[in-house]
Amino acid sequence: MKKTYHWLSSIQDCLLPPTCLLCGHEGDNRRDICQPCYGLLPWHTTGCVRCGAALEADLGTDCLCGLCLSAPPAFATTQAPFIYQGAVRHLITSLKFNATYPNARLLGQLLAEHVSHTVALPELIIPVPLNLARYRQRGFNQAIEIAKTVAQELNLPLDLACCRRPQDTAPQTSLSARQRQQNMKGAFAVVKPLRAHHVAILDDVMTTGSTVHALALALKKAGVERVDVWVCARA
Protein backbone atom coordinates (compact mmCIF):
# COMPACT_ATOMS: atom_id res chain seq x y z
CA MET A 1 0.00 0.00 0.00
CA LYS A 2 2.81 2.39 0.91
CA LYS A 3 4.66 1.61 -2.36
CA THR A 4 1.49 2.17 -4.39
CA TYR A 5 0.90 5.50 -2.65
CA HIS A 6 4.53 6.49 -3.30
CA TRP A 7 4.23 5.84 -7.05
CA LEU A 8 0.89 7.59 -7.30
CA SER A 9 2.32 10.55 -5.42
CA SER A 10 5.35 10.68 -7.76
CA ILE A 11 3.10 10.64 -10.84
CA GLN A 12 0.94 13.38 -9.38
CA ASP A 13 4.00 15.51 -8.65
CA CYS A 14 5.09 15.22 -12.29
CA LEU A 15 1.69 16.08 -13.72
CA LEU A 16 0.71 18.66 -11.11
CA PRO A 17 3.88 19.91 -9.37
CA PRO A 18 3.28 21.34 -5.90
CA THR A 19 2.63 25.09 -5.89
CA CYS A 20 2.71 27.29 -2.81
CA LEU A 21 -0.83 28.21 -1.81
CA LEU A 22 0.42 31.41 -0.20
CA CYS A 23 2.69 32.97 -2.84
CA GLY A 24 2.30 30.85 -5.99
CA HIS A 25 5.95 29.79 -6.19
CA GLU A 26 7.09 26.18 -6.50
CA GLY A 27 6.21 24.05 -3.49
CA ASP A 28 8.80 22.28 -1.37
CA ASN A 29 9.00 18.71 -0.06
CA ARG A 30 5.97 17.59 -2.14
CA ARG A 31 3.72 20.09 -0.35
CA ASP A 32 1.83 23.13 -1.61
CA ILE A 33 4.02 25.54 0.32
CA CYS A 34 7.48 26.91 -0.44
CA GLN A 35 10.32 26.93 2.07
CA PRO A 36 10.28 30.72 2.70
CA CYS A 37 6.51 30.72 3.41
CA TYR A 38 6.89 27.60 5.56
CA GLY A 39 9.50 29.37 7.67
CA LEU A 40 7.22 32.38 8.16
CA LEU A 41 4.25 30.40 9.48
CA PRO A 42 3.07 31.48 12.97
CA TRP A 43 4.49 28.58 14.98
CA HIS A 44 3.02 27.89 18.42
CA THR A 45 5.92 27.21 20.76
CA THR A 46 4.89 28.12 24.32
CA GLY A 47 1.53 26.52 25.06
CA CYS A 48 -0.09 24.75 28.00
CA VAL A 49 0.47 21.04 27.49
CA ARG A 50 -3.18 20.29 28.28
CA CYS A 51 -5.23 22.95 26.49
CA GLY A 52 -2.63 24.60 24.28
CA ALA A 53 -3.31 28.10 25.64
CA ALA A 54 -0.38 30.46 25.06
CA LEU A 55 1.94 30.96 28.03
CA GLU A 56 3.87 34.17 28.66
CA ALA A 57 7.20 32.34 28.75
CA ASP A 58 8.60 28.98 27.74
CA LEU A 59 8.44 27.12 31.04
CA GLY A 60 9.08 23.65 29.65
CA THR A 61 7.15 20.97 27.81
CA ASP A 62 4.92 19.85 30.69
CA CYS A 63 3.60 23.18 31.99
CA LEU A 64 -0.08 23.73 32.71
CA CYS A 65 -1.97 27.01 32.63
CA GLY A 66 -3.87 28.18 35.70
CA LEU A 67 -7.25 27.20 34.27
CA CYS A 68 -6.17 23.61 33.58
CA LEU A 69 -4.74 23.36 37.11
CA SER A 70 -8.02 24.51 38.67
CA ALA A 71 -10.52 22.93 36.25
CA PRO A 72 -8.87 20.25 34.05
CA PRO A 73 -10.67 19.54 30.75
CA ALA A 74 -11.77 16.04 29.75
CA PHE A 75 -8.90 15.67 27.28
CA ALA A 76 -5.29 14.91 28.23
CA THR A 77 -3.19 17.01 25.85
CA THR A 78 -3.51 19.42 22.94
CA GLN A 79 -1.29 19.47 19.89
CA ALA A 80 -1.49 22.75 17.97
CA PRO A 81 1.49 23.51 15.73
CA PHE A 82 0.36 27.04 14.88
CA ILE A 83 -1.18 30.18 16.35
CA TYR A 84 -4.42 31.21 14.67
CA GLN A 85 -3.13 34.24 12.82
CA GLY A 86 -1.54 35.33 9.57
CA ALA A 87 -1.10 32.73 6.84
CA VAL A 88 -2.56 29.88 8.90
CA ARG A 89 -5.71 31.85 9.65
CA HIS A 90 -6.01 32.56 5.91
CA LEU A 91 -5.65 28.85 5.04
CA ILE A 92 -8.27 27.80 7.62
CA THR A 93 -10.86 30.48 6.83
CA SER A 94 -10.50 29.98 3.08
CA LEU A 95 -11.11 26.27 3.54
CA LYS A 96 -14.00 26.77 5.94
CA PHE A 97 -15.93 29.47 4.10
CA ASN A 98 -14.77 29.10 0.48
CA ALA A 99 -14.29 25.32 0.27
CA THR A 100 -10.65 25.68 -0.80
CA TYR A 101 -9.92 21.96 -0.54
CA PRO A 102 -6.16 22.12 -1.35
CA ASN A 103 -5.81 24.02 1.94
CA ALA A 104 -7.15 20.97 3.81
CA ARG A 105 -4.44 18.76 2.34
CA LEU A 106 -1.66 21.18 3.27
CA LEU A 107 -3.03 21.77 6.78
CA GLY A 108 -3.34 18.01 7.25
CA GLN A 109 0.24 17.43 6.11
CA LEU A 110 1.58 20.08 8.47
CA LEU A 111 -0.44 18.77 11.41
CA ALA A 112 0.60 15.17 10.73
CA GLU A 113 4.25 16.20 10.58
CA HIS A 114 3.94 17.95 13.94
CA VAL A 115 2.21 15.17 15.87
CA SER A 116 4.44 12.46 14.40
CA HIS A 117 7.42 14.16 16.06
CA THR A 118 5.84 15.06 19.39
CA VAL A 119 3.35 12.51 20.75
CA ALA A 120 2.47 8.84 21.06
CA LEU A 121 -0.02 8.14 18.31
CA PRO A 122 -3.59 7.11 19.20
CA GLU A 123 -5.53 4.11 17.93
CA LEU A 124 -8.13 6.24 16.18
CA ILE A 125 -8.80 9.76 14.86
CA ILE A 126 -12.25 11.30 15.32
CA PRO A 127 -12.97 14.62 13.53
CA VAL A 128 -15.31 16.97 15.38
CA PRO A 129 -18.73 16.39 13.77
CA LEU A 130 -21.03 19.11 12.49
CA ASN A 131 -24.74 19.22 13.12
CA LEU A 132 -26.59 17.74 10.11
CA ALA A 133 -28.31 21.04 9.26
CA ARG A 134 -25.03 22.93 9.26
CA TYR A 135 -23.33 20.18 7.28
CA ARG A 136 -26.02 20.42 4.59
CA GLN A 137 -25.73 24.19 4.53
CA ARG A 138 -21.92 24.17 4.19
CA GLY A 139 -21.72 21.00 2.09
CA PHE A 140 -18.68 19.59 3.89
CA ASN A 141 -16.95 19.38 7.26
CA GLN A 142 -13.53 21.05 7.26
CA ALA A 143 -12.36 18.88 10.17
CA ILE A 144 -13.06 15.74 8.14
CA GLU A 145 -11.21 17.09 5.10
CA ILE A 146 -8.12 17.83 7.20
CA ALA A 147 -8.41 14.52 9.05
CA LYS A 148 -8.40 12.51 5.82
CA THR A 149 -4.88 13.69 5.05
CA VAL A 150 -3.68 13.28 8.64
CA ALA A 151 -4.98 9.70 8.75
CA GLN A 152 -3.33 8.89 5.43
CA GLU A 153 -0.01 10.45 6.40
CA LEU A 154 0.13 8.63 9.75
CA ASN A 155 -1.53 5.40 8.58
CA LEU A 156 -4.20 5.67 11.29
CA PRO A 157 -7.88 4.72 11.08
CA LEU A 158 -10.46 7.49 10.82
CA ASP A 159 -13.93 7.12 12.36
CA LEU A 160 -16.67 9.34 10.92
CA ALA A 161 -19.65 7.46 12.31
CA CYS A 162 -19.14 6.87 16.04
CA CYS A 163 -20.14 10.38 17.14
CA ARG A 164 -23.02 12.64 16.24
CA ARG A 165 -23.91 16.24 16.99
CA PRO A 166 -27.68 16.08 17.39
CA GLN A 167 -28.09 19.63 18.70
CA ASP A 168 -27.90 22.61 16.38
CA THR A 169 -25.86 24.71 18.81
CA ALA A 170 -25.50 28.45 18.37
CA PRO A 171 -22.32 29.64 16.59
CA GLN A 172 -19.47 29.87 19.12
CA THR A 173 -17.79 32.95 17.65
CA SER A 174 -20.09 35.50 19.30
CA LEU A 175 -20.17 33.84 22.74
CA SER A 176 -18.06 34.36 25.86
CA ALA A 177 -16.03 31.50 27.31
CA ARG A 178 -18.75 30.70 29.88
CA GLN A 179 -21.50 30.92 27.27
CA ARG A 180 -19.52 28.56 25.01
CA GLN A 181 -19.37 25.96 27.79
CA GLN A 182 -23.12 26.20 28.38
CA ASN A 183 -23.78 26.12 24.64
CA MET A 184 -21.87 22.84 24.20
CA LYS A 185 -23.43 20.89 27.09
CA GLY A 186 -24.82 17.64 25.72
CA ALA A 187 -23.91 18.68 22.18
CA PHE A 188 -22.37 15.31 21.24
CA ALA A 189 -23.51 11.71 21.40
CA VAL A 190 -21.54 8.49 20.90
CA VAL A 191 -23.84 6.36 18.75
CA LYS A 192 -21.84 3.16 18.35
CA PRO A 193 -19.47 1.19 20.60
CA LEU A 194 -15.83 2.21 20.57
CA ARG A 195 -13.11 -0.38 21.11
CA ALA A 196 -10.26 2.12 21.12
CA HIS A 197 -8.72 3.09 24.45
CA HIS A 198 -6.78 6.09 23.11
CA VAL A 199 -8.25 8.46 20.51
CA ALA A 200 -7.43 11.87 19.08
CA ILE A 201 -10.14 14.45 18.40
CA LEU A 202 -9.26 16.53 15.35
CA ASP A 203 -10.47 20.04 14.49
CA ASP A 204 -9.26 23.02 12.50
CA VAL A 205 -8.88 25.56 15.32
CA MET A 206 -9.39 25.72 19.09
CA THR A 207 -10.50 28.90 20.82
CA THR A 208 -11.60 28.15 24.39
CA GLY A 209 -11.66 24.36 24.12
CA SER A 210 -15.34 24.04 25.04
CA THR A 211 -16.22 22.10 21.86
CA VAL A 212 -13.47 19.50 22.20
CA HIS A 213 -14.08 19.26 25.96
CA ALA A 214 -17.73 18.37 25.33
CA LEU A 215 -16.78 15.75 22.74
CA ALA A 216 -14.01 14.33 24.95
CA LEU A 217 -16.48 14.08 27.83
CA ALA A 218 -18.90 12.07 25.67
CA LEU A 219 -16.10 9.76 24.51
CA LYS A 220 -14.85 9.13 28.04
CA LYS A 221 -18.37 8.37 29.22
CA ALA A 222 -18.48 5.81 26.39
CA GLY A 223 -15.39 4.07 27.78
CA VAL A 224 -12.43 5.74 26.06
CA GLU A 225 -9.55 5.98 28.52
CA ARG A 226 -7.47 8.76 26.95
CA VAL A 227 -8.51 11.57 24.62
CA ASP A 228 -6.02 13.93 23.00
CA VAL A 229 -6.84 16.95 20.86
CA TRP A 230 -5.16 17.71 17.55
CA VAL A 231 -5.87 21.10 15.96
CA CYS A 232 -4.10 23.02 13.24
CA ALA A 233 -4.09 26.23 15.25
CA ARG A 234 -4.77 27.63 18.71
CA ALA A 235 -6.53 30.98 19.00
Does one domain contain both 26 and 50?
no
Does one domain contain both 105 and 25?
no
Does one domain contain both 122 and 164?
yes
pLDDT tens profile 146-196:
999 999 999 999 999 999 998 766 555 666 566 655 667 778 999 999 999
Residue numbers of the domain that contains 33: 1-40
pLDDT tens profile 102-147:
999 999 999 999 999 988 999 999 999 998 888 998 999 999 999 9
Does one domain contain both 27 and 76?
no
Does one domain contain both 30 and 51?
no
pLDDT tens profile 97-114:
999 999 999 999 999 999
CATH number, domain containing residue 224: 3.40.50
- Distance separating alpha carbons of residues 163 and 170, to the nearest angstrom: 19
Does one domain contain both 24 and 114?
no
Does one domain contain both 23 and 117?
no
Does one domain contain both 13 and 107?
no
Does one domain contain both 176 and 156?
yes
Does one domain contain both 14 and 130?
no
Does one domain contain both 60 and 9?
no
Does one domain contain both 4 and 69?
no
Look at the chain and report how many structural domains it folds into. Answer: 2
pTM above 0.95, yes or no: no
